[in-house]
């Protein structure tokens, strides 16, 4: 597994350098040869598997990934360092593999042989740990399959007994951890089921005292971390979007308490603050710690006065700004007065010389004095004004010096207070983690060195578990309390983790822990009721991918839309673009111009047609153009950005990038199209899991644009086209699309 991970790191680095044009950007620049040598060294280092492994073993904090991008250069040489990609997730996965040997033996047995370890699980306990009011409230809020998944998560879960504290293994905890797999097909309320599990886990321990969640408080005599019979739950997922969805729902709706009533929950979001969505940023650990620091700064008897020092600095800076403005005004006034005095002096001298030339000594002295008095008086006035200005400037400069000194002193005090707060911050983070009932973060974020020693979680729920490589799923397992519960939630029928290296893929690196446990015989609880798709859209995926176990929820009939009455806008349609041809686009990716034009015209008819926009505009809140190839998506984006009616209203994405999301209307371009009798396959479009994702994103309408003769060489696509023919929703497209779109305006 270690070798497969390093092989994948090398492949990702090579891809990142190729896509980023690193060497091309450096060509001709200073140090180009050395930069090439450093990038080549990066590949050589990644070739030596033991080198990366020894770095991890040598220090708890591995060398920064940037060190792999720049080997030691000769003294005096110039190196150009280019950030190619982040290796932090890979380092943390390797570290998780290294920790496996130190995990408790029962957890090791569960990971090595999940089938045997879970063979005895599944029988409900005689003593249901849920309080009756919470059990009834959960039953009222969830459908039968969601309730079965929640109950399955509680199988072999025994909360800590009252009075035993958080000691692992105390209070009736089982001798080893237990595992539950929950499969969540598209639109089955997976997030709702997870929130139900969180309420169930917390409710098991809250029944004795009805503990309610609240806000985080700074450490003080009357603020204690969650302890006693408290249960801590760790929520994790592969992507930030999934984590933010869980956190946002927890903040918005809260959870059910032991009495079956809604309550707030103390949830803490980990990771970088920039990666958290706005709705989850308030729960981020940095935001919570900042609130604690502000609370301590404002409290009596606390030594954190950085807030008052900061205000002092601001006040002094404001005074200094006013003084500097006054100094500037006085200096400007002085600059105006000096030329005026010079002009008056010159005028006086010129006037005296002129009179002597004209009259010689015949004119009396009194007459001279009378003529020059006004000029001398004006000069005196200007001199007095200048002296006053200079006196004001001297006073202002003294005040400026005093304010600068005060500002420097206040800044020094603020810096000292900030340093004290920074040294205090790890303690505040540990306190926040101890107070939290639910901690959430990506799998990679949970590998950060942030958790205080001894902190353990009684339940770990991993969402998107089928999308993560197994080493990523191992990252948080060292945080699982002995006898704790591990719940993996995902759908192996959808796209797995992306693995670039062919060697790593051949070595099964893309296989998730969920999929391996399922193949080993671990029972799976499946969510079977979907609420996302119109029945015409869900019918084929439910039968083909889920063996007809997936059924429609009671309210999916509300997804019917008035535009379905138009011949070319039914809820499901396959537009057979017979004249479309695939071609190589930028970067070697494929595109199909005819399909792109048809998809854009469908958008135009949908959004700017007078009748459609006026009558059904409220029925389409979201519309997405999907394609399996990036070149086709780029073509979509160019057309959409050039159309004012579509810009901002139509999203463009690859199928892989849209997994986990949904839209009212989805237009999918398959791109692959060749001459009728030419040989060849459809590439990675033949992957049934990618097809499942592409065909299950739509709520109200799914319109597939493709060439039937090409797609039918793939068994899954042939089955889908046959289904569309049986439903009468295959629409042939030849020549101009205008007549086709004109039909959409007929009732």
Residue 65 φ/ψ, nearest 5 degrees: -55, -25
Residues 126-176 have pLDDT tens digits of 456 788 999 999 999 999 999 999 999 998 887 765 433 344 433 344 457
Q: What is the pLDDT of residue 186?
A: 96
CATH class of 545-733: alpha beta
Residue 484 φ/ψ, nearest 5 degrees: -80, 180
For 237: left if phi > 0, alpha if psi spans -120 to 50, otherwise beta; the answer is beta
Q: What is the pLDDT of residue 63?
A: 43
Structure tokens at 159: 């909360």
Q: What is the pLDDT of residue 422?
A: 66
Residue 139 buriedness (CB in 10 A; 0-12 / 13-18 / 19+): middle
Cα distance between residue 600 and residue 655, in whole Å = 17
Q: Domain limits of the chain?
A: 1-99, 104-120+128-159+175-217+228-285+436-527, 302-352+370-428, 545-733
Cα distance between residue 604 and residue 665, in whole Å = 13
DSSP characters for 360-419? TT-S-HHHHHHHHHHHHHHHHHHHHHHHHHHHHHHHHHHHHHHHHHHHHHHHHHHHHHHH
Cα distance between residue 484 and residue 176, in whole Å = 7
**Computed from CA positions of residues 707, 708, 714, 715, in that sequence, does the dihedral angle turn out positive or negative?**
positive
Structure tokens at 63: 């060398």
Cα distance between residue 93 and residue 714, in whole Å = 36
**Closest to 481 in 3D by CA, of 247, 735, 158, 209:** 158
b/e burial code for range 17-26 (CB count within 10 A of at least 16 → b): beeeebeeeb
Query: Residue 218: which residues within 8 A CB-CB, separation 6 or more?
Result: 292, 293, 295, 296, 299, 428, 431
Domain 104-120+128-159+175-217+228-285+436-527 shares a fold with domain 545-733: yes
Query: Residue 381: which residues within 8 A CB-CB, separation 6 or more?
Result: none
Fold of 104-120+128-159+175-217+228-285+436-527: Rossmann fold (3.40.50)
| Separation of CA 144 from chain center | 32
Residue 402 buriedness (CB in 10 A; 0-12 / 13-18 / 19+): middle
Cα Rg of the chain (Å, integer): 36
Q: What is the pLDDT of residue 718?
A: 95
Structure tokens at 312: 């002092």
Mean pLDDT by 10 residues, the chain (747 residues): 77 67 45 40 40 36 44 53 73 90 90 80 59 92 95 84 42 66 96 95 66 62 48 94 94 90 93 87 89 67 54 86 90 85 79 65 54 76 86 90 90 77 79 92 93 92 95 94 93 91 86 94 94 96 96 91 83 91 82 91 60 51 92 92 84 93 94 74 89 96 94 94 95 72 44
Q: What is the pLDDT of residue 702?
A: 95
H or E stretch covering 237: strand 233-237
Cα torsion 371, 373, 374, 380 to 10°: value is 150
b/e burial code for range 533-550 (CB count within 10 A of at least 16 → b): bbbbbbbbbbebbbeeeb
H or E stretch covering 243: helix 240-253
Between CA 693 and CA 718, with CA 679 as vertex, the angle to 5 degrees is: 35
* H runs (alpha helix) in 125-189: 132-141, 144-154
**Closest to 285 in 3D by CA, of 440, 418, 66, 511:** 440
Q: What is the pLDDT of residue 624?
A: 93
Structure tokens at 179: 């595992």
């Amino acid at each position: 597994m270690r070798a497969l991970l390093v092989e994948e790191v090398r492949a990702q680095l090579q891809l990142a350098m190729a896509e980023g044009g690193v060497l091309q950007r450096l060509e001709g620049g200073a140090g180009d040869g050395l930069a090439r040598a450093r990038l080549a060294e990066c590949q050589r280092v990644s070739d030596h598997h033991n080198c990366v492994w020894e770095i991890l073993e040598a220090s708890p904090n591995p060398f920064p990934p940037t060190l792999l991008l720049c080997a030691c250069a000769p003294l005096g040489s110039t190196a150009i360092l280019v950030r190619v990609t982040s290796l932090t997730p890979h380092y943390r996965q390797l570290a998780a593999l290294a920790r496996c040997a130190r995990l408790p033996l029962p957890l090791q047995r569960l990971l090595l042989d999940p089938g045997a370890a879970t063979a005895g699980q599944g029988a409900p306990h005689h003593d249901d740990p849920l309080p009756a009011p919470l059990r009834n409230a959960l039953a009222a809020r969830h459908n039968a399959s969601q309730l079965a998944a929640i109950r399955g998560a509680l199988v072999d879960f025994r909360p800590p007994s009252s009075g035993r504290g958080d000691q692992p293994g105390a209070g009736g905890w089982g001798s080893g951890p237990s595992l539950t797999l929950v499969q969540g097909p598209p639109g089955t309320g997976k997030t709702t089921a997870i929130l139900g599990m969180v309420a169930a886990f917390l409710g098991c321990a809250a029944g004795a005292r009805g503990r309610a969640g609240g806000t985080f408080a700074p450490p003080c005599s009357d603020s204690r971390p969650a302890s006693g019979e408290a249960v801590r739950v760790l929520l994790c997922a592969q992507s930030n979007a999934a984590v933010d969805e869980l956190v946002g729902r927890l903040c918005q709706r809260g959870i059910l308490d032991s009495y079956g009533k809604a309550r707030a929950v103390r949830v803490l979001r980990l990771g970088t603050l920039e990666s958290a969505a706005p709705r989850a940023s308030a729960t981020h650990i940095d935001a919570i710690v900042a609130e604690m620091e502000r609370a301590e700064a404002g409290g009596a008897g606390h030594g954190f006065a950085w807030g008052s020092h900061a205000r002092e600095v601001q006040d002094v800076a404001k005074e200094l700004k006013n003084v500097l403005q006054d100094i500037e005004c006085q200096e400007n006034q002085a600059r105006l007065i000096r030329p005026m005095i010079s002009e008056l002096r010159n005028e006086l001298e010129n006037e005296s010389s002129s009179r002597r030339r004209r009259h010689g000594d015949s004119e009396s002295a009194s007459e001279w004095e009378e003529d020059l008095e006004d000029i001398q008086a004006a000069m005196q006035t200007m001199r007095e004004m200048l002296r006053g200005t200079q006196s004001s400037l001297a006073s202002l400069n003294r005040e400026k010096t005093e304010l600068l000194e005060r500002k420097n002193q206040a800044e020094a005090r603020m810096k000292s207070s900030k340093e004290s707060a920074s040294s205090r911050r790890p303690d505040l983070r540990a306190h926040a983690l101890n107070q939290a009932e639910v901690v959430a973060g990506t799998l990679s974020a949970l590998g950060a060195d942030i958790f205080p020693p001894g902190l353990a979680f009684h339940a770990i729920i991993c969402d998107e578990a089928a999308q993560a490589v197994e080493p990523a799923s191992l990252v948080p397992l060292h945080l699982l309390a002995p006898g704790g519960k591990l719940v993996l939630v995902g759908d192996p029928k959808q796209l797995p983790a992306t693995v670039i290296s062919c060697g790593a893929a051949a070595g099964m690196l893309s296989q998730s822990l969920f999929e391996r446990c399922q193949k080993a015989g671990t029972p799976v609880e499946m969510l079977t009721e979907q609420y996302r798709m119109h029945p015409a859209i869900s019918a084929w995926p439910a039968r083909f991918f889920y063996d007809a176990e997936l059924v429609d929820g009671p309210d999916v009939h509300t997804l019917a839309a008035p535009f379905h009455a138009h011949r070319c806008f039914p809820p499901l349609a396959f537009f057979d673009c017979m004249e479309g041809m695939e071609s190589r686009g930028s970067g070697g990716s494929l595109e199909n111009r005819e399909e792109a034009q048809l998809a854009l015209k469908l958008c135009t008819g949908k959004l700017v047609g007078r009748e459609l926009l006026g009558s059904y505009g409220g029925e389409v809140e979201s519309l997405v153009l999907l394609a399996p190839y990036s070149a086709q998506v780029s073509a979509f984006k160019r057309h959409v950005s050039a159309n004012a009616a579509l810009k901002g209203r139509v999203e463009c994405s690859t199928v892989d990038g849209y997994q986990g999301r949904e839209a009212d209307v989805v237009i999918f371009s398959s791109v692959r199209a060749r001459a009728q009798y030419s040989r060849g396959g459809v590439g990675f479009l033949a992957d049934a899991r990618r097809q499942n994702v592409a065909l299950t994103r739509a709520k109200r309408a799914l319109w597939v644009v493709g060439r039937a003769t090409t797609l039918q060489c793939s068994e899954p696509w042939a089955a889908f086209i046959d289904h569309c023919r049986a439903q009468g929703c295959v629409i042939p497209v030849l020549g101009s699309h205008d007549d086709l779109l004109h039909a959409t305006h007929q009732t």
